[in-house]
């Protein structure tokens, strides 16, 4: 029998991590609270469990060769709920002697200049950045102490099929004849990550012993400005696309009615200055590059249709 890989979280990242593992011939179990998801990957087992409870997390991942942390609480509840959720999954992986692969982001680095690398200095200056930095440190310290075998994959702002965040406001409206919504300064270069590539990286990390104990950036296309991103949308659709850019003031106002939008205000620094990644480490180690941005946009539009 093929070895079991357990993916916590069935959002777009968990979904495409599972799909890549299935392509590798692994047995895959996807876990969320409800035991339901839209169009689950063919061949994957779908299980319901509240994994914020360590007993549940341990039980549902028993016998796993690797577990993947792709679950997260609502965006506005990160500080209150995220550390405990990850601690539960860490305990489960340790109890079951399974590798722990974490889908992470870049908030712990804070603002920076130049090109961001895995080993760039960390300077979290936001609430969510400090939460992410603390969580990442706990994982890496547990690995260094021999308590767990772990690796971390970090991606930039991602989009793609099944994504209800960036895709829903910056791509989907173009299909509906509406203006797409941008943030900050649309003329600053920004690295975008395709969620299918993010899933591929996590699957690589969970199946390569040499990847453990390290942080890896997802192979991502060359940076473009948000205005250039819109131009690629126009090319894919064959028609002009209107856009509007929101600043911190507008997001703060909208946050009065939407807690998730309120949480974006402290992250606006990502969109008001260059936000460029160097993803060459994973590209060299694993021998593949990101899906071309134009292709990724076309695939996302096809799904949105």
- CB count within 10 Å of CB 261 equals 18
- Residue 246 DSSP SS3: strand
Q: How many beta carbons lie within 10 A of that of residue 176, not counting itself?
A: 9
DSSP state of 2: P
| Fold match between domain 4-156+192-219+280-285 and domain 159-191+222-276+291-304 | no
- Which two structure tokens, joined as six digits, stand for 199? 């899933």
Name the least confident of 147-151, 201-205, 253-257.
253-257
Q: What pLDDT is stored for residue 109 in this prediction?
A: 98
Q: What is the third-level CATH fold of 159-191+222-276+291-304?
A: UDP-galactose 4-epimerase; domain 1 (3.90.25)
Model pTM score:
0.96
Q: What is the CATH number of domain 4-156+192-219+280-285?
A: 3.40.50.720
Q: What is the pLDDT of residue 248?
A: 67
Bridge partners of residue 153, in order along the sequence: 103, 216
pLDDT at 247 over 70: no
Contacts of 22 (CB under 8 A, 6+ apart): 28, 41, 42, 43, 44
Least confident stretch, 61-65, 200-204, 218-222, 252-256: 252-256
Domain limits, the chain:
4-156+192-219+280-285, 159-191+222-276+291-304
- Say what the pLDDT of residue 56 is: 98
Contact (Cβ atoms closer than 8 angstroms) between residue 17 and residue 7:
yes
Lowest model confidence (mean pLDDT) among 4-18, 90-104, 133-147, 236-250? 236-250
Res. 246 pLDDT band, cuts 50 70 90: confident
Q: What percent of the chain has pLDDT over 70?
A: 96
Question: Does residue 21 register a pLDDT over 80?
Answer: yes
Chain-centre distance for alpha carbon 44? 20
Range in 2-16, 44-58, 104-118, 259-273 the model is least confident about: 259-273
User: Residue 258: its pLDDT value, please?
Assistant: 73
Give me the phi and psi of 133, to 5 degrees please: -65, -45
Q: What does the pLDDT average to over 174-191?
A: 95
Residue 117 has pLDDT above 80, yes or no: yes
């Amino acid at each position: 029998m093929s070895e079991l890989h357990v993916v916590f979280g069935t959002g777009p990242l968990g979904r495409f991590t599972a799909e890549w593992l299935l392509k590798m011939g692994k047995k895959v179990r996807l876990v969320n609270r409800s035991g339901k998801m839209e169009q689950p990957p063919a061949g994957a087992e779908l299980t319901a469990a509240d994994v914020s409870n360590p007993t549940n997390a341990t039980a549902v991942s028993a016998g796993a060769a690797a577990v993947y942390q792709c679950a997260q609480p609502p965006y506005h509840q990160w500080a209150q709920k995220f550390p405990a959720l990850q601690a539960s999954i860490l305990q489960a992986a340790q109890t079951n002697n399974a590798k722990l692969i974490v889908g992470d982001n870049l908030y712990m680095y804070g603002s920076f200049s130049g090109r961001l690398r895995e080993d760039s200095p960390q300077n979290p200056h936001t609430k969510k950045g400090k939460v992410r930095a603390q969580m990442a440190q706990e994982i890496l310290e547990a690995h260094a102490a021999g308590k767990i075998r772990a690796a971390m994959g970090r991606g930039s702002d991602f989009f793609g099929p099944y994504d209800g965040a960036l895709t829903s406001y910056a791509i989907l409206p173009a299909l509906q004849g509406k203006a797409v919504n941008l943030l900050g300064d649309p003329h600053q270069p920004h690295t975008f990550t395709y969620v299918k590539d993010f899933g591929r990286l996590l699957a690589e990390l969970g199946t390569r012993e040499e990847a453990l104990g390290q942080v890896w950036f997802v192979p991502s296309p060359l940076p473009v400005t948000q205005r250039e991103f819109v131009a690629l949308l126009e090319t894919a659709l064959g028609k002009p696309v209107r856009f509007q850019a929101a600043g911190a003031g507008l997001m703060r106002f909208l946050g009065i009615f939407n807690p998730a939008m309120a949480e974006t205000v402290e992250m606006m620094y990502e969109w008001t200055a260059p936000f460029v990644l160097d993803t060459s480490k994973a590209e060299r180690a694993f021998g593949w590059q990101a899906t071309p941005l134009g292709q990724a946009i076309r695939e996302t539009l096809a799904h949105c249709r």
